[in-house]
Structure 1
Amino acid sequence: MAKRNKERKAEAITDPNDERFDTLSEQEQLELLQKYDPESNTRNLRGLLGKIVFFGLLAFSIFQLYTSIGTPFTAYIQRSIHLGFALSLIFLLFPARRKAGVRRDKVPFYDVILSLLSIGVGLYWPLNMDELILRVGRVSDLDLIVGVLAVLLTMEAARRAVGLPITIISAVFLVYAFFGPYFPGFLAHRGQDVDNLVQLMFFTTDGILGTPISVSATFIFVFLLFGAFLVKTGVGNYFNDLAVVLAGRLTGGPAKVAIFSSALQGTISGSSVANVVGSGSYTIPMMKKLGYRKEFAGGVEAAASTGGQIMPPIMGAAAFLMVEFIGGVTYWEIAKAAAIPALLYFTGIWIMTHFEAKRVGLQGMRPEEIPNRKETLKKIYLLLPIVGIIVFLLLGIPTMKAALLGIVLTLIVSSFNKETRLNFKDIIQALVDGARTALAVAAATACAGIIVGVVVKTGLGLSLANGLVSAAGGNILLTLIFTMFAAIVLGMGSPTTANYVITSTIAAPAIITLLMLDTPNAPVPVVVAISAHLFVFYFGIIADITPPVALAAFAASGISGGDPIKTGVTSAKLAIAAFIIPYMFVFNPAMLMIDSSTWQIIWVTATAIIGMIAIGAGLIGFWYRKLNWIERIITAATGLMLIYPETKTDFIGLGLFAILFAIQLMSKDKNKDKKETATA
């Protein structure tokens, strides 16, 4: 093993100018995104159609800013116009097929027709508002046609912009709604005819125009604009430079740079894959150059980038959906509850990369590879808008207004330096880029509305919850395990927003039902609701690095040149914290900082961090020296005791940890003495 590590290290540093370690060009990044991220699989239009799309995106942003400043439209009108903008632009920008060779500079006639039909669907409510309200509960022939079109266009747009999984799931739910009486056991229901389904899907706020797209049309869009303005200031590249300055010289520096950079990128990014390509094209070559294995380098970036989706304050836009779905909670409560779990997640990856670097014998980056510290820290002001958002929310400013103030603050902060200053053209481009990013989110939330509508109408959520609880025999741990697998499967191949909508609608009720067995008719406490929703959200996100459908890991392997499945397995191993932490905060909500004392929060966090050190050492097989298999098992078990939220196991774990730590230090000193004697 030692010989293989030396050979690997020697190979890595033989030729520091090797092209394998160059960062990816913009074109290569785009090709990688188009391969693994449906949201980036767009046409490159020029000429008249290019201008139509450009001004369409600009108009979309202006409309959203106008409605966010006040509330000039009713819910039906705002949401349907939002839907119309998104669908019509998606059919112009996203090709029907993703295969290589498909022309990306032209729009076929059928997509133009679909785009025009989408405009008609989006304008149907604004043009017929009074009539639709007067005949509420009844569907005319024209309503039926428009409603069917709305459903079909939404599903096709989601397939193109988001991916096939969510389209298949929504189609299955429609079939379930229609053929309800023919399903066995607890899944059976009376069924819905076409008229009722169409009415539910497009003429109520329980379907396509329901809560998910409402959040897309309000909070999410404005925060995506905020992210687009930040990117225009160059903050994305600054994240990389800052990460190198702060972590580059540490043991295994590039891996820690990847973790730090991805955590920062996660504050503005809404996609694990985009995060991988954005920061990974820079960090993965550095890790390989230092001597990390291809699969390990890709795994670090994939795990860290996926963690960006659970990173407050934005959490891949799912935080805003969570506020609406749970009800009775503020955005700040959700962000605060997710803070410690996110800290533990990244701490776990940091620890494991550190032990891997120690095991292989890797050092930090050379001084000449690190940007000027003074010059880099001079630009720390670029992070002020992100800090500002947090301060605004702490002051109790409404979420949407906080995002708008964040955009204003970004414009002010960018003017401090000529390099970052945004001119009129930059502002227009930021508005266009923000709207382009929002298209996939709008399609995902609209399609997710189909799922939510069916669940609400048929009572499927409660039926599945009772079924899971019954299958687990009322055992909370077994129910959580079943729910975990359900969330991972449901989350495979879905972007963050759609991922959360699906998992929270189908899987979260099982946890809530079990935790409320003793008081089934009582209101659901906030702590129960948040822990259940965060539980399924975490495992839905982890699907991005869980084989066989691990899109973030596959994208990372495309940069590293490693095996995709091995990269996925490595990233899942590095993200072991994400498989443990959700169980912790369900059993001990102190980690969510809800209804807990400061002492409880400190104790739970401290023991969890110490536990992660032990688990990391056990999984990597190295602490201060190499661990044999028995030591690895004992060390990992000690970590689990510390992480398990119970005082007795905490004290036993602390005792064992102290003993193991002492043994490691003594054996380290003995090895050092032996080496010195041999040298002498």
Structure 2
Amino acid sequence: MAKDQVNLTPELDESKQAEIMAKYDREFAYRKLEGIMAKIISVVAIAWALIQLRTAAFGVFPTTIQRGQHVGFALFLVFILYPMRKSNRSNKISWYDYILAALAIVVTGYHVVYYQPIIHRAGAYTTTDIYISILAVILVIEATRRVAGPILVSVASFFLIYAYIGPMFPGLLSHRGYAIPRIATYMWMSTEAILGIPVGVSSTFIFLFLVFATFLKKTGIGNWLTDLAMGVAGGATGGPAKAAVIASASQGTISGSSVANTVGTGSVTIPLMKSIGYKSEFAAATEAAASTGGQLMPPVMGAAAFIMTEFTGLPYITIALAASIPALLYFTGIFIMVHLEAKKQGLRGLKRSELPNPFKLIKEKWFLALPIVVIVWLLIQGKTPMLAALWAIISAIAVSYIRKDTRLKVRDLFEGLEEGARSALPVAMACATAGIIVGIVTLTGLGVKFSTGILILSGGNVYLAMLFTMFASIILGMGMPTTANYIVQATIAAPVLVELGIPVIAAHLFVFYFGIVADITPPVALAAFAGSGIAGSNPFKTGVQASKLAFAAYLVPYIFATNPELVLVDTNAVELILALATALIGMYALAGAVSGYLKTNARAWERLALAAGGIMLVNPSMWSNGLGILITGIIFALQVTRAKKEETSVIL
């Protein structure tokens, strides 16, 4: 490192980062085991990962075996690794956790051992089937509570109760009701609920992409991308904040967790932002808003994107391509806000001598990006996501040997498999419990009833329907993992939007986006709170600031839902360019309205005019776009003129 170069080593050591992540995300609140149990868990996790790699290479097992063993491994590991109470900081495994782990082996082993007889019974389930099913449902709910929190479990429990006491519900919600044996066996013995589509995707695509992300981190690509972002943007106005946006966008290819992304990247960028004059709340909010968007960034995106392939019937590459422009708009919106805030406060960037040389970084470690190129190329070639992920994992290991300082040791390989398996636990359990909700919706016909209810409430107005769906997604997302939130909304709400004329891919991306935005929406803004833990800022104020910075996240879904060209639906190059141009101008106008600054401080009426112009540019009609551009242009011209006068008066 040059003498004057800024230190890009994280100010927080790994233990402090782990402490912050455990505080704000249950996924990271696990026991730190030692001795023989630590070795046993490592062996189990590695065995799970190897089985998943085997299915990618040689083909999956029969459906219930593939999904059953996946849930079995997850249940066993959760009961051993996660204490019953989050507040329990003891690393000692309780006696009842051993019993629960053993029961997890029993219920999932039953599915595997009696696979053929269960199929042949074709619904004529035995007493043993019923008891095993009841026990399996209880175990899944308890494991999910430990790793994902109480909200998802509460929602799933409500749905189970709803299936039982259906006749007691009024109006559209009423149904004939089902007995406990019927509900339990439908949940566990069929492939429509716990072992349904969500777990099916988790046991194939998602697991492998999580292992891929783990090996990418092992090669040091995360630090390289952060350094590269700092080298490219760190010297600009408000440089560290802009670097945070770029780094967090690129980290979307590695991490599917808003909190983990915030803590990992923010441990570098937040102190640097504060060092050039950004307030603590703004620095933490910038990182949180940008990191949350990592789940929106192709090619990897969040785990929910893989489940989207099953719900929409579209290839993953189609979804990734469709998500590209909305993701670009999201990060552009945050970038604009950061730039305007820096201009407003007169914040400089870092000196070029303090920053890494981006050309040197590319020259030295360009090969770290090759695994990402491999996965994208294979997906474009039409290979399955499983096969693409497998070859991407192999390529990540292979390219690490190009340089000595990136070379993976044998120990790193085993650690990568274990960490990949551990990272799959919250996703697997969220998918299993979300499957309960999907199963009840299917069993009771609630999906059709819910759709009818939204149509009645909205009066068939697509904007009102989108508004109701947005609030539902955000509220569910405040305590529910993105994956589970998306599954619920894809089952219930997305079909309503499709019925009202929104293309399938746009409708599903709509609910996906708002489920993610919950991580920066107060009062439960987990990513913002994690950022505040690093910055030492007020958590609630940080959440409010993050919501303001990420206004694009609240706007972008409406833009692509009403401008399907932006998700590449029935479009051509001219239409796409026009839609993108008006969307960017609209976001610039709205950023000026929110920040109160374009070229100089905006007056109250100018902010109102910019807000109106920005909203008009969301509407796809020509007259609305034209008027929006005119209003924005007039305010911009007035701001430029006034800024010059202010500059002249200062000189004089």
> Aligned partners of 2:105 and 2:553: how far apart in 1?
42
Contact 1:267 1:312 in 2 (8 A): yes
Letter of the aligned partner of 2:90 in structure 1? R
Q: Secondary structure at the match of 1:407?
A: helix
Letter of the aligned partner of 2:68 in structure 1? S
Whether 1:581 aligns to 2:572 is no
Contact 1:252 1:353 in 2 (8 A): yes
Letter of the aligned partner of 1:166 in structure 2? L
Moved more, 329-338 or 66-75: 66-75
Deviation at 1:513, TM superposition (A): 3.0
> Aligned partners of 1:232 and 1:79: how far apart in 2?
28
Aligned to 1:427: 413
RMSD (CA atoms): 1.7
Contact 2:427 2:483 in 1 (8 A): yes
TM-aligned CA distance change 1:180 to 1:573, over 3 Å:
same
Whether 1:129 aligns to 2:115 is yes
Letter of the aligned partner of 1:171 in structure 2? S
> Aligned partners of 1:631 and 1:302: how far apart in 2?
29
> Aligned partners of 2:592 and 2:366: how far apart in 1?
34
Letter of the aligned partner of 1:365 in structure 2? L
Whether 1:483 aligns to 2:458 is no
Letter of the aligned partner of 2:208 in structure 1? V
> Aligned partners of 1:505 and 1:438: how far apart in 2?
23
Deviation at 1:661, TM superposition (A): 2.3
Contact 1:250 1:365 in 2 (8 A): yes
Among 350, 354, 372, which residue is 2:339 paired with?
354
Q: Secondary structure at the match of 1:45?
A: coil
Letter of the aligned partner of 1:188 in structure 2? S
Q: Secondary structure at the match of 2:278?
A: coil
Aligned to 2:320: 335
Whether 1:450 aligns to 2:425 is no
Aligned to 2:143: 157
> Aligned partners of 2:482 and 2:154: how far apart in 1?
17
Aligned to 1:643: 618
Aligned to 2:297: 311
Q: Which digits, 9 at most, give the CA deviation of each residue in 1:476-503, with x for residues without a partner? A: 1111111111111111122221221122
> Aligned partners of 1:494 and 1:247: how far apart in 2?
35
Contact 1:187 1:463 in 2 (8 A): yes
Contact 2:222 2:254 in 1 (8 A): no
Contact 2:11 2:268 in 1 (8 A): yes
Aligned to 1:372: 357
Aligned to 1:600: 575
Deviation at 1:662, TM superposition (A): 2.1
Letter of the aligned partner of 1:670 in structure 2? K
Deviation at 1:22, TM superposition (A): 7.0
Contact 1:271 1:496 in 2 (8 A): no
Aligned to 1:29: 17
Aligned to 2:33: 45
Among 115, 127, 142, which residue is 1:141 paired with?
127
> Aligned partners of 1:539 and 1:246: how far apart in 2?
30
Q: TM-score, normalised by structure 1?
A: 0.93
Letter of the aligned partner of 1:478 in structure 2? L
Letter of the aligned partner of 2:75 in structure 1? L
Aligned to 1:297: 283
Contact 1:542 1:578 in 2 (8 A): yes
Q: Secondary structure at the match of 2:617?
A: helix
Contact 1:170 1:447 in 2 (8 A): yes
Deviation at 1:642, TM superposition (A): 2.0
Letter of the aligned partner of 1:609 in structure 2? L
> Aligned partners of 2:358 and 2:574: how far apart in 1?
37
Aligned to 2:377: 391
> Aligned partners of 2:322 and 2:130: how far apart in 1?
44
Aligned to 2:214: 228
Aligned to 1:666: 641
Deviation at 1:664, TM superposition (A): 2.0
> Aligned partners of 1:322 and 1:75: how far apart in 2?
19
Deviation at 1:314, TM superposition (A): 2.0
Contact 1:490 1:503 in 2 (8 A): no
Q: Secondary structure at the match of 2:598?
A: coil
Deviation at 1:533, TM superposition (A): 1.0
Aligned to 1:186: 172
Deviation at 1:72, TM superposition (A): 5.1
Contact 2:559 2:618 in 1 (8 A): yes
Aligned to 1:206: 192
Q: Secondary structure at the match of 1:270?
A: coil
Whether 1:98 aligns to 2:86 is yes
> Aligned partners of 2:181 and 2:447: how far apart in 1?
23
Q: Secondary structure at the match of 1:348?
A: helix
Q: Secondary structure at the match of 1:643?
A: coil
> Aligned partners of 2:576 and 2:104: how far apart in 1?
50
Letter of the aligned partner of 1:253 in structure 2? G
TM-aligned CA distance change 1:89 to 1:606, over 3 Å:
same
> Aligned partners of 2:507 and 2:628: how far apart in 1?
27
Q: Which digits, 9 at most, give the CA deviation of each residue in 1:187-236, with x for residues without a partner? A: 01111111111121011100110000000000001111111111110111
Q: Which digits, 9 at most, give the CA deviation of each residue in 1:324-376, with x for residues without a partner? A: 0112x111111111111110000000000100001111010123431233432
> Aligned partners of 2:644 and 2:118: how far apart in 1?
81
Moved more, 335-344 or 646-655: 646-655
Deviation at 1:311, TM superposition (A): 1.1
Q: Secondary structure at the match of 2:104?
A: helix
Letter of the aligned partner of 2:324 in structure 1? A
Aligned to 2:566: 591
Contact 2:340 2:595 in 1 (8 A): yes
Aligned to 1:276: 262
Letter of the aligned partner of 1:69 in structure 2? A
> Aligned partners of 1:289 and 1:397: how far apart in 2?
47
Contact 1:462 1:509 in 2 (8 A): no
Contact 1:493 1:551 in 2 (8 A): no
Aligned to 1:544: 519
